[in-house]
């Protein structure tokens, strides 16, 4: 389009009201939620940027496909449609439906894991890491070195450090390495994309050492957008073809359909190897359900099948990446420190840099999360020492490598005015910077503590 306005390539048919709240009310809600926005009621939130997972607005085509959902226990038509769609897209022969991404992770990594086993990734997502560590195995992150330079401009900061990958294979021995997981885009590494060149290199190393290469592909369409627009040699290819080229490099994939499949629930595991697929099928039946529904209703499978086609629409992808980029550029110009270059599904703010007066032990990221809710009713998530911090033997916090806050943008849900509102709230955040204060944890669970921790103000 010749005009500069970011144009949402859809019309709104159904609306959901947003209840307007005051700062005073939000102060009360936040205290009641123990300063952890996961405990807030959604009705008390103005703009919900907690996650882009399962929060998409479905299209008319998806809703109508849901009406033809076949709820048969076995061999449902919905399953056959979904299976065909996944097969056509990924090329993998064995497809196991699951109720969401982490169920596929638990099945595959539960089977492959165990004490003494090692998994290596550009960055394990939190549920990926938790599922691996739960088996007693070790999860090692090897993002490229530039990924830790928050404002450093590089087109593919989600890449894996392939030199390190080879040296780790030497260190641990190929037989002890259960899988190499390439997460595209690299969510916990700032949502940065992975280049095809990097995927090819990872694939070649996996072939050389006979290692299993798994793609965590829940944002594969957004990743394909970056490859087409940032990597040489892809301009004339469609986004779907680029995704297919990446799938062809791997031995299997795990997908949370709650992201780049525009679905509110669902996921799958797809594999090349029959023996591995059979082992996983055993586990699927025990916990998820029969092989042709895996914990999903027929109508959900139809929604995913349609979503997997819609996500590669060039107009949608252009709007999606431009809209997130618009938010990132405005915040950057305002002086908010954030991971650059901008990515597809979220903006990641460096809270430690924004609040240098709050030590990591007092969780600057959580402080910003609370401020954004208080000042503007915006809900988002800390991706720092609350999420990834550990304790040493004496109970001292071992902080995460970064103190980030993620503003994830649900797909097709908010308009450009909502994005402008978020930018305006940040003007307030900057003005009130000095008065933000840290928090201490008063209650936590052992695994994935960020979901359920309670905090109090310091």
Ligand X SMILES: Cc1ncc(COP(=O)(O)O)c(C=O)c1O
The contact set with ligand X (CB under 6 A) reads: 53, 100-102, 125, 127-128, 183, 187, 216, 218, 256, 258, 267
Q: How far is the CB of 383 from ligand X (least distance, A)?
A: 11
Residue, CB closest to ligand X: 101
Angle of helix 77-90 relative to helix 298-310, nearest 10 degrees? 30
Residues in the chain, overall count: 458
Among 120, 81, 153, 145, CA closest to 308: 81
Contact at 8 Å (CB) between 200 and 240? no
Q: How far is the CB of 396 from ligand X (least distance, A)?
A: 29
Q: How far is the CB of 258 from ligand X (least distance, A)?
A: 5
Determine the Cα–Cα distance for residues 328 and 6; give it in Å rounded to an integer. Answer: 14
Contact at 8 Å (CB) between 294 and 99? yes
Angle of helix 101-112 relative to helix 274-287, nearest 10 degrees? 120
Q: How far is the CB of 216 from ligand X (least distance, A)?
A: 5
Phi, psi of 177 (to 5 degrees): -95, 115
Q: How far is the CB of 128 from ligand X (least distance, A)?
A: 6
Q: How far is CA 57 from CA 136, 300, 410, in A?
A: 38, 14, 8
Indicate the pairing of strand 267-271 with strand 94-98.
Answer: antiparallel
Provide the 10 A C-beta neighbour count for residue 178: 24
Phi, psi of 95 (to 5 degrees): -125, 125
If the CB atoms of residues 258 and 320 are measured against ligand X, the closer one turns out to be 258
Q: How far is the CB of 141 from ligand X (least distance, A)?
A: 13
Contact at 8 Å (CB) between 258 and 300? no
Q: Which residue has 């399962």 as its token pair?
A: 54
If the CB atoms of residues 102 and 228 are measured against ligand X, the closer one turns out to be 102
Which residues, listed in sequence order, are joined to residue 186 by a DSSP beta bridge?
192
Range 107-116 burial, b when 16+ CB lie within 10 A, else e: bbbbebbeee
If the CB atoms of residues 267 and 389 are measured against ligand X, the closer one turns out to be 267
Q: How far is the CB of 410 from ligand X (least distance, A)?
A: 12
If the CB atoms of residues 21 and 127 are measured against ligand X, the closer one turns out to be 127
Q: How far is the CB of 358 from ligand X (least distance, A)?
A: 26
Indicate the pairing of strand 252-256 with strand 390-391.
Answer: unpaired
How far does Cα 130 stand from its chain's mean position? 15
If the CB atoms of residues 30 and 142 are measured against ligand X, the closer one turns out to be 142
If the CB atoms of residues 118 and 218 are measured against ligand X, the closer one turns out to be 218
If the CB atoms of residues 182 and 354 are measured against ligand X, the closer one turns out to be 182
If the CB atoms of residues 187 and 224 are measured against ligand X, the closer one turns out to be 187
If the CB atoms of residues 45 and 257 are measured against ligand X, the closer one turns out to be 257
Cα-Cα-Cα-Cα dihedral sign, residues 446, 451, 295, 243: negative
Among 216, 193, 191, 188, CA closest to 400: 188
If the CB atoms of residues 257 and 429 are measured against ligand X, the closer one turns out to be 257
| Cα torsion through 360, 436, 355, 327, rounded to 10 | 120
If the CB atoms of residues 54 and 155 are measured against ligand X, the closer one turns out to be 54
Cβ within 8 Å of residue 2, ≥6 positions away: none
Determine the Cα–Cα distance for residues 193 and 225; give it in Å rounded to an integer. Answer: 9
């Amino acid at each position: 389009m010749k005009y500069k306005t970011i144009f949402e390539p859809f019309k709104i048919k159904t609306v959901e009201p947003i209840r307007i709240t005051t700062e005073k009310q939000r102060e009360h809600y936040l205290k009641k939620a123990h300063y952890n926005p996961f405990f807030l009621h959604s009705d008390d939130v103005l703009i919900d940027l907690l996650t882009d997972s399962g929060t998409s607005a479905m299209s008319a085509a998806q809703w109508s496909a849901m009406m033809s959902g076949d709820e048969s226990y076995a061999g449902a038509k919905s399953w056959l449609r979904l299976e065909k769609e996944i097969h056509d897209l990924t090329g993998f022969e064995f497809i196991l439906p699951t109720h969401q991404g982490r169920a596929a992770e638990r099945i595959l990594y539960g089977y492959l894991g165990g004490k003494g086993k090692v998994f290596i990734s550009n960055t394990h997502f939190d549920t990926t890491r938790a599922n691996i560590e739960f088996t007693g195995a070790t999860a090692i992150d090897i993002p490229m070195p530039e990924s830790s330079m928050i404002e450093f401009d590089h087109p593919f900061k989600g890449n894996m450090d392939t030199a390190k990958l080879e040296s780790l294979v030497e260190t641990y021995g190929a037989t002890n390495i259960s899988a190499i997981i390439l997460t595209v885009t690299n969510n916990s590494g700032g949502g940065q994309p992975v280049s095809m060149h990097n995927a090819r290199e990872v694939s070649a190393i996996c072939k050389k050492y006979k290692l299993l290469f798994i793609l965590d592909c829940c944002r594969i369409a957004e990743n394909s957008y970056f490859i087409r627009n940032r990597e040489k040699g892809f301009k004339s290819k469609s986004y779907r073809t680029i995704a297919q080229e990446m799938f062809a490099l791997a031995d299997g994939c795990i997908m949370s359909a709650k992201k780049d499949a525009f679905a509110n629930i669902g996921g799958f595991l797809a594999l090349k190897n029959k023996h591995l697929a059979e082992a996983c099928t055993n586990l699927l039946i025990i916990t998820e359900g029969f092989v042709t529904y895996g914990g999903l209703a027929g109508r959900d499978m139809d929604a995913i099948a349609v979503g997997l086609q819609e996500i590669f629409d060039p107009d949608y992808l252009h709007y999606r990446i431009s809209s997130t980029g618009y938010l990132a550029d405005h915040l950057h110009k305002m002086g908010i420190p954030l991971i650059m270059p901008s990515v597809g599904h979220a903006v990641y703010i460096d809270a430690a840099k924004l609040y240098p007066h709050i030590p990591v032990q007092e969780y600057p990221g959580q402080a910003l999360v609370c401020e954004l809710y208080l000042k503007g009713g915006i809900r988002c998530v800390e991706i720092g020492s609350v999420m990834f911090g550990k304790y040493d033997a004496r109970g001292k916090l071992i902080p995460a490598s970064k103190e980030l806050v993620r503003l994830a943008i649900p797909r097709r849900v908010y308009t450009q005015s909502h994005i402008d509102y978020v930018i305006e709230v940040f003007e307030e955040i900057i003005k009130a910077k000095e008065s933000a204060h840290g928090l201490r944890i008063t209650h936590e669970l052992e695994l994935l503590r960020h979901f359920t921790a309670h905090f109090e103000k310091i």
